Amino acid sequence: MNPLLEDFNTPYNSAPFSKIKNEHYKPAFIKAIKLAKKEIDAIVDNSKVASFNNTVEALDFSAELLGRVSSIFFNLNHAETSEEIQKIAKEVSPLLSEFGNDIGLNEKLFKRIKSVYENKANLTLSPEQTTLLEKNYKSFVRNGANLNNTDKETLREIDKELSQKSLSFGEKLLAATNAYELHLTNADGLAGLPDGVIEAAAMTAKEKEKEGWIFNLDYPSYIPFMTYADSSDLRKEMSFASGSKTNKGDDFDNQENVLKIVSLRHKRANLLGYDNHAAFVLEEQMATASGKVIGFLTKLLEKSKPIALKENEQLTNFANKLDGTSSLQSYDAGYYTEKLKQELFDLDDEKLKPYFKLDNVIKGAFTVANKLYDLNFEEINDIDKYHEDVITYKVTDTSDELVALFYADFHPRPGKQNGAWMTSFNNQFIKDEVNNRPHIVNVCNFTKPTETKPSLLTFGEVTTLFHEFGHALHGMLANTTYPGLSGTSVYRDFVELPSQMLENWCYEKEALELFAFHYETGEVIPLDLIKKIKDSANFMEATRMLRQISFGMTDMAWHSTNPAEIKNVVNFEQKAMGETKIYPHIEGTCFSTGFSHIFDGGYSSGYYSYKWAEVLDADAFEYFSKNGIFNKEIATKFKQFILSKGGSEHPMELYKKFRGQEPDNDALLRRAGLLA
């Protein structure tokens, strides 16, 4: 018996993780692909004239089993991987690429899709059906349906190799991250570090049966060390370890993967008739073209860089006054920024962390969702978890109807990638009059509880939790007919709107007083601290914006340049980042070889979307803030036109239905304090 191929017969049809063994995955993939091919054959061989129902709709509902197996396996490959799982991933990824090509390059299937598309003027279709038809037709064209047979075979080989190289990139990055540790046995190296950080490092050492303290490249260890450690030498060592981890010419080196991935993407785009990969990707985004993206980022650069240089001058003068440091390196920035923030605002994370116990912040996010969207969250223990750290919840509406299952996975561990993300084990769709509700996952890497303290979050981690929970709400509240348009299946430069939007509540008194309680005394966060949070919201904002612009520019450079012109990863990266840099490059480091968003995470030619979506979220939150952050009428419109609609209509049309107008592009600059 293979549990992946059987009816789950579990509460809410949840994944039976305790029954699934590694040896089940590959046979399940093979069986699911075989079944999906039969479903495609049934569509192609249908003797009836191609129609929306028997062709377009049937295609979107096909391969349901394969989708289920894939979502479980690849989610675990990111959150709970092992050498065996990584080996399976390498074996099945080419099979999936081949299957994807079997569909995209199926001439008979495309002929039926094209027939329906060319007859759409005579059909009575809903906006969602029209969108699905257009998406399917464009997807076939954009993925080689019009190629000759020789070029189709070339495309298959490219896609197969791309899937392998992307997997390799992620595996090397995770292995390199796990391989490094800073082992301190002399307490002098701990100077400046908060007690909780020291205790966590001691606990890590104890777990590894070592004396002293161990710091590593996981965010809850790395970021506090770089922020508080007094030793510039140790900060430099940690920074170099992070920046060079996949750029050393060893087994973890990703330079070859980077060059090969961009080369394959460029070759693929050319084969399909596009100048480059960026042109291919952006055709189906709100931005539409690389020139528009570059123009957008350049405008932000022009507004932010002069102010960022002044911020750097202020920081350098402060460092010189504080301890005689006359010039700053990148590994100094976090340390002195925190010190300056303490001086200017009498505010630091150590003052705030006692008010942000993880359990309370989770409940706070739930309360905000309840006040805005009438959602209720109940912790349940009758469904399987893939790791003991995971917490599971049943999400219901005011009628006690199931809205979603929610899996929360919040602490780092070996086998779990760094960072934070939202994904799903089961998507929402409506079939045979049954609304299949989604199973949504949030994965983060927050500090673990210690022997004396619960998990306490920095304010940055609070906003991260709300950000990912905003994505989760987009998935939970999905209410479309077709799985291909459900939830976060939207344009990449629109998908960040719900997540970045929810971060705004972290700065508001009405919201903070719902969950910011001192973990020992129960005292609600004082008004003066709330004011300091608000007052410091734009502290070093231009520098932060410049950093994001830098990443966006680098992404666009990699995917709009002919790879034949790229000879060296580091040199190319430095040129791409040139106008955005403040600190000198540290020899031996490279950002791109660890840039998982674009080489292993689906954001290629799309990293700009974080700033693009910030324009939308700044404009949208202005609407809330002028009328009340818990205004029910506005929240209902956001739920109705943004969160529930997925990709069922063009995002600008959905946004205008919510907002009543197109977004004001200056809203972001106003919020950031960058408008004169």
Beta bridge partners of 409: 443
Tell me, yes or no, if 39 is annotated catalytic.
no
Distance CA 374, CA 370 (A): 4
What is the total count of domains within the chain? Answer: 4
Residues 572 and 630 placed together within one structural domain of the fold = no
Instruction: Note the pLDDT tens digit of each residue in 73-108.
Output: 999 999 999 999 999 999 999 999 999 999 999 999
Same domain, 238 and 90: no
Give the mean pLDDT of 505-524: 97
Average pLDDT over residues 571-599: 96
Per-residue pLDDT for 569 more than 90? yes
Give the model's pLDDT for residue 466.
98
pLDDT at residue 92 in the model: 96
590 touches 173 (CB < 8 A): no
Q: Which of 603, 616, 631 is nearest to 663 (CA)?
A: 616
Same-domain status, 484 and 547: no
Q: Is residue 324 part of a domain?
A: yes
299 pLDDT more than 70: yes
266-277 residue pLDDT tens? 999 999 999 999
Give a yes or no: residue 214 inside a domain.
yes
pLDDT class of 675 with cuts at 50, 70, 90: confident
Per annotation, catalytic residue among 57, 171, 350, 468: 468
Tens of pLDDT, residues 156-206: 999 999 999 999 999 999 999 999 999 999 999 999 999 999 999 999 999
**Domain assignment of residue 2, yes or no:** no
Tell whether 395 is covered by a domain: yes
- 603 lies in the same domain as 614: no
Please check whether residue 6 lies inside any domain of the structure.
no
Q: Would you list the DSSP string of 549-597?
A: HHHHHHHHHHHHS-GGG---HHHHHHHHHGGG--SPPPTT--SGGG-HH
Section 210-222 average pLDDT: 96
Residue 328's closest CA among 342, 341, 314, 346? 314
416-436 pLDDT per residue, tens: 999 999 999 999 999 999 999
- Structural domain contains residue 475: yes
* Burial class (CB within 10 angstroms; exposed 0-12, middle 13-18, buried 19+) of 667: buried
- Point out the domain boundary residue: 203, 220, 244: 244
Tell me the CATH number at 302: 1.10.1370.10
Give the closest residue to 540 by CA, choosing from 348, 673, 351, 676: 673
Within-domain flag for 171: no
Q: How confident is the model at residue 478 (pLDDT cuts 50, 70, 90)?
A: very high
Q: For 195, list phi and psi in degrees, rounded to 5.
A: -55, -40
Residues 6 or more apart whose Cβ sits within 8 Å of residue 43: 54, 55, 58, 59, 62, 109, 112
Q: Is residue 499 located within the same domain as residue 383?
A: yes
Please name the residue that has the structure tokens 């479309």.
Answer: 480
Does one domain contain both 340 and 367?
Answer: no
Q: Classify residue 407: in a domain, yes or no.
A: yes
452 and 494 share one domain: yes
- pLDDT value at position 510? 97
What pLDDT does 348 receive? 86
State mean pLDDT over 581-598: 96
**475-484 as b/e: b if 16+ CB within 10 A:** bbbbbbbbbb
For residues 239 and 217, what is the distance between their CA atoms, to the nearest angstrom?
9
Residue 608's nearest CA partner among 487, 482, 494 is: 494
Q: What is the mean pLDDT of residues 376-403?
A: 97
CATH number, domain with residue 414: 1.10.1370.40
Q: How far is CA 416 from CA 82, 171, 178, 384, 564, in A?
A: 9, 11, 10, 19, 35
Q: Could you tell me the strand order of the sheet in which 439-443 lies?
A: 376-379, 391-396, 402-409, 439-443, 421-426
pLDDT at 676 (0 to 100) = 60
Please identify, among 195, 211, 244, the residue that sits at the C-terminal boundary of a domain. 244
Statement to judge: residues 390 and 488 lie in one domain: yes
> Does one domain contain both 370 and 517?
yes
Residue pLDDT, tens place only, 272-294:
999 999 999 999 999 999 999 99
Residue span of the structural domain in which 211 resides: 180-244
Could you tell me which residues come within 8 angstroms of residue 45 by beta carbon, excluding any fewer than 6 positions away? Answer: none
Q: Name the pTM for this structure.
A: 0.92
Judgement on whether residues 507 and 621 belong to the same structural domain of the protein: yes
* Mean pLDDT for the chain overall: 96
**Rounded CA gap, 533 and 104, in Å?**
51
- Work out the percent of the chain whose per-residue pLDDT is above 70: 100
3-state secondary structure at position 646: coil
Can you tell me the mean pLDDT for 629-648?
A: 98
CATH number of the CATH domain containing 21: 1.20.1050.40
Co-location of 86 and 202 in the same domain: no
The DSSP call for residue 643 is: I
Shared-domain flag, residues 601 and 614: no
Domain boundary among 211, 244, 277: 244
pLDDT at residue 474 in the model: 98
